[in-house]
Chains A and B, each alone.
Chain A
Amino acid sequence: MKKIIFLSVCAGCAIICFSFIPDGKKTWNAPPSSASKTNPQKTISTESISDGKALYAKHCQSCHGKSGKGDGTKAFELKTEPGDFSKSIFQSQSDGAIFYKISEGRDDMPSFRKKIADANDIWNIVNYVRTLKK
């Protein structure tokens, strides 16, 4: 009986210890030179938000979800965590960092530099993504 209790306690400790091991999520930081870029659209217009929303729906929504929570229809097929745009950990990034990530991509996230050739359009997406903050 003592053996069973001892083994159960060991197993419980092991489970607790393993639960603190990082789950393999890779952090993604934009290079400082890109992260420090400022948004050229000094005042965010409703047109910019509207254009950004249309582009987001076309290019981003299938993975990132309608409200940016990473719950799009394709999200479950991804090996890379699509993130949650409503959370402060995402929103605390600079506009330049978000611009860089959309533009360059990594792993499952494609580069949109060629598909969205006009930099102003990527800034419009950045502006729209800011509105997803909870």
Chain B
Amino acid sequence: MKHTQLYSRTFFFFWSGLFVFLLLVSGMAIAQTEGVDSLTNTPVRKYQQVKNTFESNLIIDDQSVMVPSKNTLEFDILHRFGIINNGYSNFYGLFAPPVIRLGFEYVPINNLQIGFGLCSNNMDLDLNGKYAIVKQSRGAIPVSVTYYGNIVIDTRSSSDFVERGDRLSYFNQLMVARKINSKLSVQTALSLSHFNNVPGYTDAEGVIRNTVMNDQFTWSLMGRYKLTEKMAILVDYDQPLTQNPTNNPHPNVAFGLEITTSSHCFQIIAGNGQYILPQLNAMNNQNDFSKGQYLLGFNMTKLWNF
């Protein structure tokens, strides 16, 4: 009961804080109103938006503030090998059963992206949306702010579930990013993951208790440093904030090398995130980076513009 009250309170504070924040930044967004150059009939913004804070929708295991331009279709292939410290027996994780996600995202209107994907872990189907609330502009707005959310449906056989709703989990993330200069961009994010169903155990008094909380708060910090115009180093760190009765997830630490072209982005990564979907890493990641439990992987994206 005590835990339930705590969930409700944190849930309330998260959403009320988010609401107030969105109200504040929505006023800032008005300052970006476009005008038209009378001579050339070319749209000219009152303030010049800062472009390419990040080159891709993804920063290793997390989302970036970027939403591609309208009518862009993106195809994602995300791949995570097994942990490296099993050594030669599975060739340092490369021959271990991988986690793979195939996904599509589309931008039907300016600043809004919607998408779906299927992940090999539990055959999780995710429906996701991302909205760029505010974009960094020179001399006006110091940061970009973007919201990302998803609903994940565990599509395994119904015999694995008691209630239909047990299949569902949710992820909400508010990201704030700043392009410091042409080479360095940083991003921080606060996320809330919610699982309708979590594992339980029976204590000594015979009472059924949750091993972990249904709601998990996570704070994230990411960065990109460009080595050349087309190559960059990525860093991604997720710190779980919620204290669970048991099985606290480990922080996710990941590094990556990003190579971009006109239509593709490749990220080769090393990290300890066990999963691809963000709420699963936030809730269940038991790989401890300090014990060498890290793995290799890659993200590939292909863009089409219609």
Contact surface of A with B, Cβ cutoff 8 Å = 37-40, 47-48, 50-51, 53-55, 57-59, 61-62, 96, 114-121, 123
Bound complex: CA A117 to CA B51 (Å)? 12
Partner of B52, one of A39, A54, A123: A54
Partner of B229, one of A39, A53, A119: A53
Partner of A114, one of B44, B229, B305: B305
Q: A47-B48, A58-B230 are in contact. Are A119 and B262 (CB under 8 A)?
A: no
A-B contact pairs, 13 of them (CB 8 A): A37-B42, A40-B42, A50-B182, A54-B52, A54-B182, A59-B262, A114-B69, A115-B303, A115-B305, A117-B69, A117-B305, A119-B43, A120-B42
A120 lies within 8 A of B48 (CB):
yes
A57 lies within 8 A of B44 (CB):
no
CB distance from B142 to the nearest CB of A (A): 15
Interface size on B, residues (CB 8 A): 27
Q: Which residue on chain A has the smallest CB distance to residue B70?
A: A117
A120 lies within 8 A of B71 (CB):
no
Find chain B residues with CB under 8 A from A54 CB. Answer: 51-52, 182, 229
B40 lies within 8 A of A40 (CB):
yes
Bound complex: CA A55 to CA B40 (Å)? 22
Q: A117-B70, A121-B51 are in contact. Are A58 and B262 (CB under 8 A)?
A: yes
Contact surface of B with A, Cβ cutoff 8 Å = 37, 39-40, 42-45, 48-49, 51-52, 55, 69-71, 138, 182, 228-230, 260-263, 303, 305-306
Partner of B230, one of A48, A57, A117: A57
Find chain A residues with CB under 8 A from B263 CB. Answer: 115
B230 lies within 8 A of A114 (CB):
no
A58 lies within 8 A of B39 (CB):
no
Find chain B residues with CB under 8 A from A114 CB. Answer: 69, 71, 305-306
Find chain B residues with CB under 8 A from A116 CB. Answer: 69
A118 lies within 8 A of B138 (CB):
no
Q: A40-B44, A120-B45 are in contact. Are A62 and B39 (CB under 8 A)?
A: no
A120 lies within 8 A of B230 (CB):
no
Find chain A residues with CB under 8 A from B40 CB. Answer: 37-40, 96
Q: Which residue on chain B has the smallest CB distance to residue A51?
A: B51
